[in-house]
């Protein structure tokens, strides 16, 4: 098989989800004595598809070493650097691609993300504009730019205008409508979101994602009869879809049909045992139904761990380290508003992979958490349940970010579908709030975000304190009890997956 045919076959396999087979093909090409630029790029792309970004970078480096005049090689290198959170290096790689003649919308989009992470707001907006000028109908970039405008300035009209421009340029309306709905809800107008999606279900009755989005907003507003109507619409479009079955189960839980919900979720989990979202909702259904599965999934004393960090080398005390870490983290909190598509409200979130930072306190943090993560994995052990059967006793960081909550801030109850172990590390805490009788500012576990019948309040709480790392299964529902004191809270969070 020729190199071109091998690459095409690998791309087809990746499209079918057969990533291991694709990796075997691309690895053979990249390991040759003189791999082509295309071979190196294909193997890097396959590695990144399975989250192995650190392993992808050497192949991009090899490409720019061997094909230094290729703007595409520099683009690929920049994209991987940006994926790794190495924003300033990504900016420089993009600029080298531009010097070599690159003028693609994709490179301007990478440039925008890297500039944004580096804190160069004006230049980032320019780069987003240039990307959309060249490809105005790319919904992913339009939605990302709209979210950026909202986070930076809180300007709903300007963010909305970006989405409208993409629509008039020919972009598919579905992702734009969903982006609008999340924007309006983030700005405090969920009713506007609901009205938008309800109208869209009538004008676009065959659009599955619209029906699912409308169902989710109806549940958020506790309009259960409307949610049931949207579920029936979604079932008419694709009854076998995991997302449809999950939404139907959530509506069943709201209607007091826990046994029905659990049966639906178990049937789908038989075919998709690695789906963290399904396990999260199966735990809710099992709890409501009194099924022992809930105890297997959510034995809080055994699967939630709190670890007080040891003082990293180079600092005289934990307090001194946390002070330096707080200063470094505050430099990456560049936004006025929370993201439209994340769980926090009334605060800000860093938007690049924090583990790629070169700031000494941040680098020291990721070195210091290795020991408690490994201790927690060892305590969990191995087994047949959805958590322990994935335990290889080794891990890699899948995502890492920082959140700063203002007074009144909180995290809505959520889980992390792309993780295995999730976390909260407390750098600064709202100390007066933590002492209140209603546990303001504490992390809580077990409460789903939508109405259930019967109601399911949180069953487990952990008190934050500076220097404390809390680890828990990614499928586990968790949130923050809102705090009303005139204080703030600064955390680092990450997801880990088996290596």
State the DSSP string of 396-451.
EEEEEEEEEEEEEEEE-SB--TT-SEEEEEEEE--HHHHTSTT-TT-EEES--SS-
Q: Are 323 and 484 in contact (CB under 8 A)?
A: no
Q: Are 175 and 207 in contact (CB under 8 A)?
A: no
Q: Output the CATH code of domain 301-498.
A: 2.60.120.620
**Per-residue pLDDT tens for 431-484?**
999 999 999 999 999 999 999 999 999 999 999 999 999 999 999 999 999 999
Q: What are the structural domain ranges in the chain?
A: 301-498
Give me the chain's average pLDDT, please: 95
Instruction: Read off the DSSP letter of residue 471.
Output: E
pLDDT band at 218 (very low <50, low <70, confident <90, very high): very high
Lowest-confidence segment of 33-37, 117-121, 124-128 by average pLDDT: 33-37
For strand 489-498 and strand 344-349, is the pairing parallel, antiparallel, or unpaired?
unpaired
pLDDT confidence of residue 14: 83
Region 127-135: mean pLDDT is: 97
Q: What's the CA angle centered on 301, arms 388 and 445, to 5 degrees?
A: 90
Q: Are 214 and 246 in contact (CB under 8 A)?
A: no
- pLDDT of 13 over the 90 cut: no
Please give the C-alpha separations between residue 351 and each of 11, 88, 117, 313, 402, in angstroms, as whole numbers.
Answer: 29, 14, 7, 28, 8
Maximum separation of any 2 CA atoms in the chain, in Å: 69
CA 46 to chain centre: 20
- pLDDT of 199 over the 90 cut: yes
On the CB side of 11, how many CA atoms lie within 13 Å of its CA?
Answer: 10
**Per-residue pLDDT tens for 26-85?**
888 888 888 888 889 889 988 998 888 899 999 999 999 999 999 999 999 999 999 999
pLDDT band at 259 (very low <50, low <70, confident <90, very high): very high
Region 400-407: mean pLDDT is: 92
Residues 84, 80: Cα–Cα separation, whole Å: 6
Respond yes or no on whether the N-terminal peptide bond of residue 229 is cis (omega within 30° of 0): no
* DSSP secondary structure of 30-43: HTSSS--HHHHHHH
* DSSP secondary structure of 61-129: HHHHHH-TT-HHHHHHHHHHHHHTT-HHHHHHHHHHHHHTT---HHHHHHHHHHHHHHT-HHHHHHHHH
Q: Are 492 and 400 in contact (CB under 8 A)?
A: yes
**Per-residue pLDDT tens for 339-375?**
888 877 888 898 889 999 999 999 999 999 999 999 9
pLDDT band at 338 (very low <50, low <70, confident <90, very high): confident
**Per-residue pLDDT tens for 132-155?**
999 999 999 999 999 999 999 999
pLDDT confidence of residue 468: 98
Residues 225, 211: Cα–Cα separation, whole Å: 14
pTM above 0.85, yes or no: yes
Instruction: Read off the DSSP letter of residue 496.
Output: E
pLDDT confidence of residue 339: 85
* DSSP secondary structure of 293-359: HHHHH--HHHH-EEEEPPPPTT-SSHHHHHHHHHHHHHTT---SS--TTSSEEEEEE--S-GGG---
Residues 404, 370: Cα–Cα separation, whole Å: 23
- pLDDT of 23 over the 90 cut: no
Structure tokens at 375: 């201790």
């Amino acid at each position: 098989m020729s190199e071109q045919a091998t690459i095409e076959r690998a791309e087809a396999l990746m499209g079918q989800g057969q990533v291991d087979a694709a990796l075997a093909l691309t690895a053979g090409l990249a390991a040759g004595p003189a791999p082509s630029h295309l071979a190196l790029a294909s193997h890097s792309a396959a590695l990144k598809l399975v989250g192995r970004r650190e392993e992808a970078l050497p192949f991009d480096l090899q490409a720019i070493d061997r094909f230094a005049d290729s703007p595409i090689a520099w683009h690929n290198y920049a994209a991987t650097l940006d994926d790794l959170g190495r924003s300033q290096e990504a900016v420089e790689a993009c600029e080298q691609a531009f010097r070599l003649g690159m003028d693609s919308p994709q490179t301007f989009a990478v440039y925008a993300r890297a500039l944004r992470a580096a804190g160069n707001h004006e230049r980032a907006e320019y780069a987003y504009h240039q990307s959309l000028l060249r490809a105005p109908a790319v919904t992913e970039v339009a939605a990302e730019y709209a979210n950026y405008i909202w986070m930076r300035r809180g300007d709903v009209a300007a963010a909305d205008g970006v989405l409208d421009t993409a629509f008039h340029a020919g972009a598919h309306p579905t992702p734009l409508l969903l982006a609008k709905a999340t924007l309006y809800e983030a700005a405090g107008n969920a009713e506007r979101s609901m009205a938008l999606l309800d109208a869209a279900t009538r004008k676009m009755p065959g659009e599955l994602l619209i029906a699912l989005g409308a169902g989710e907003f109806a549940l958020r507003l506790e309009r259960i009869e409307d949610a049931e109507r949207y579920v029936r619409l979604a079932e008419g479009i694709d009854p076998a879809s995991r997302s449809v079955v999950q939404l139907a189960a959530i509506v069943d839980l709201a209607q007091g049909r826990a046994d029905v919900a659990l049966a639906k979720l178990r049937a789908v989990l038989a075919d998709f045992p690695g789906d963290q979202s399904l396990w999260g909702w199966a735990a809710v259904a099992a709890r409501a139904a009194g099924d022992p599965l809930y105890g297997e999934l959510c034995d809080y004393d055994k699967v939630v761990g709190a670890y007080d960090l040891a003082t990293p080398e180079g600092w005289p005390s934990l307090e001194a380290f946390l002070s330096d870490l707080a200063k470094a983290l505050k430099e990456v909190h560049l936004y006025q508003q929370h993201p439209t598509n994340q769980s926090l409200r009334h605060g800000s979130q860093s938007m690049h992979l924090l583990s790629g930072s070169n700031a000494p306190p941040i680098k020291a943090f990721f070195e210091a958490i290795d020991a408690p993560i490994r201790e927690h994995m060892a305590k969990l052990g191995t087994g047949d349940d959805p958590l322990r059967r994935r335990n290889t006793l080794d891990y890699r960081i899948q995502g890492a970010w920082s959140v700063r909550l203002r007074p009144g801030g909180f995290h809505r109850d959520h889980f992390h579908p792309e993780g295995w172990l999730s976390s909260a590390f407390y750098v600064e805490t709202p100390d007066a709030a933590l002492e209140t009788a209603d546990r303001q500012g504490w992390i809580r576990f077990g409460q789903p975000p939508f109405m259930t019948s019967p109601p399911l309040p949180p069953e487990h709480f952990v008190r934050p304190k500076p220097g404390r790392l809390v680890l828990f299964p990614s499928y586990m529902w968790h949130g923050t009890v809102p705090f009303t004191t005139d204080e703030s809270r600064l955390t680092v969070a990450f997801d880990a997956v088996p290596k």
